[in-house]
Amino acid sequence: MEKVIDENKQGTSLQLEQKQDNSKKLFIESYGCQMNFSDSEIVASILSNEGYNTTNNLEEADLVLVNTCSIRDKAEQTVRKRLDQYNQIKRKNPGMKVGVLGCMAERLKSKFLEEEKIVDMVVGPDAYKDLPNLLKDVDEGRDAINVILSKDETYGDIAPVRLQSNGVTAFVSITRGCDNMCTFCVVPFTRGRERSRDPQSIIEEIQDLYERGFKEVTLLGQNVDSYLWYGGGLKKDYEKATEMQKATAVDFAQLLDTCATTFPKMRFRFSTSNPQDMHIEVIETIAKHENICKYIHLPVQSGSTRILEAMNRQHTREEYMALVDKIYELIPDISLSQDMITGFPTETDEDHKDTLSLMEYVRYDFGFMFAYSERPGTLAARKLEDDVPEEVKKQRLTDIITLQNKISLERTQRFVGTTVEVLIEKTSKRSEDEWSGRNSQNTTTVFPKENYKVGDFVLVEITDCTSATLIGKAVGYSPMQA
């Protein structure tokens, strides 16, 4: 649950610029968090050099890949249905290969490949460079499987293609894996231990984006706040580093500061943060730079210290509240968002009330809220009985969503009567005559197009709002406009 899942993007098939000499067709579809969508860009880049152009037409594909998520049972069931659909088409086109990538690949490798025989190959999140060899294995009739988790793979040497990009915003991965071992989460088992990417390769990727006209970058990882580069290797092995490695190490605050300083005409966001790893230096860096967006996704999962301990969240309710106090003190105009799980094993009515009161205290602008879904292989699944009845989970989830919607409206209303900076990303869904973009606090903002264009930084005077959207009129370009 540490990664934000955009329900509007689930199952998006991805297409990029076609290489003239490539003769084979790749259909690649992504589910789950933004890390999966980012990984699909890496896969498309690798396969582009193997003769594959992407297509949105499943029927014409030579190779079909689905990049999967194991965070929730719903995501796994959706992928299973898609695999059935792929195989119906494969019966008409026997030459078509089907492969599963990502987190489900690691978790269900033998089931997919050997027992159910519904795929030709299974590729884990650290094995994408092995795709050319695995495709040869399929051609030669061998099982094609690589789900080995790496200690050092970060794909820092691969320039991702930007699939269906708006040419304005992009994601740049800076860490892979996670060491936190939350009891409800499969990520450490499906994506491995935490390691950070060489900062030089990150800056080079952002430089390339800047030269191509991109205006905003989101630094991406399971837990960006624990980014630590000391020459390579796992985060947990940092204590064995030499004195020189420790003296020249780069942490997340330093990386963020370097990005904002090096590219003053680009905006920066990051996701996801873990409360126990967010240090004061990161908050100070956000406050220091105008071009670092005033928005933090700060998952908490529960407002009850007892439940947080059962989740192995490594912070208490009081510690989380103290962190929020410090953030608001240094960045008064910040927006915060949450991940919340309701109905975790042993959760009582009192625990639920603690969650609601924490939400009232923090005043989140947005939220990503789920009923607990037991994930096989996690510590919670092995050690804790899923003992909260479904109807109770549903009612508590309704309580949380209702409260968040109320607070979201109140938080969005604070912008009415102010002028905000907006980066234009696309035409508004509600009108062809309006632009849509986000302000620094990550709130969607719509306004008449006039003579502005996608990629412009515009000052917008806010006249009205809904709980999720600001409505206004552009009054000129912002100082960020180059």
Q: Report residue 31 as tokens.
A: 């589910």
- In whole angstroms, what is the distance from residue 139 CA to residue 97 CA? 9
Report d(CA 379, CA 316) in Å as an integer.
20
74 close to 80: Cβ distance less than 8 angstroms: no
259 annotated as a binding-site residue: no
- Tokens for 302? 């529960």
Those residues whose C-beta lies under 8 Å from the C-beta of residue 33, and which sit 6 or more positions away, are: 3, 4, 5, 69, 71
**Cα separation of 296 and 311, whole Å?**
22
Distance, in Å, from the CA atom of 446 to the CA atom of 465, rounded to the nearest integer, reads: 10
Is 103 annotated as ligand-binding? Answer: yes
What is d(CA 78, CA 72) in angstroms, rounded to the nearest whole number?
Answer: 10
In this structure, the number of other CB atoms found within 10 A of the CB of residue 178 comes to 25
The answer for residues whose C-beta is within 8 angstroms of residue 159's C-beta and 6 or more apart is: 45, 205, 208
Helices 280-288 and 252-262: crossing angle, nearest 10°?
10
**Alpha carbons 292 and 339: distance in angstroms, whole number:** 22
d(CA 476, CA 457): 9
Element (H, E) at 227: none
Q: 105: which residues sit within 8 A by CB, 6+ positions away?
A: 68, 112, 122, 123, 124, 125, 147
Residue 185 annotated as binding? yes
Do 209 and 179 touch, CB atoms closer than 8 A?
no
Q: 169-173 and 216-220 as β-strands: parallel, antiparallel, unpaired?
A: parallel
Is 178 assigned to a binding site? yes
∠ at Cα 480 (443, 263), nearest 5°?
100
- Degrees to nearest 5, angle at CA 306 with 304 and 309: 110
Is residue 422 classed as helix, strand or coil in its secondary structure? strand
Query: Got the DSSP string for 102-162?
Result: EHHHHHSHHIIIIIS---SEEE-TT-GGGHHHHHHHHHTT--EEE-PPPSS---TTS----
Q: Are 135 and 98 in contact (CB under 8 A)?
A: no
Residue positions forming the annotated binding site for [4Fe-4S] cluster:
33, 69, 103, 178, 182, 185
Residue positions forming the annotated binding site:
33, 69, 103, 178, 182, 185
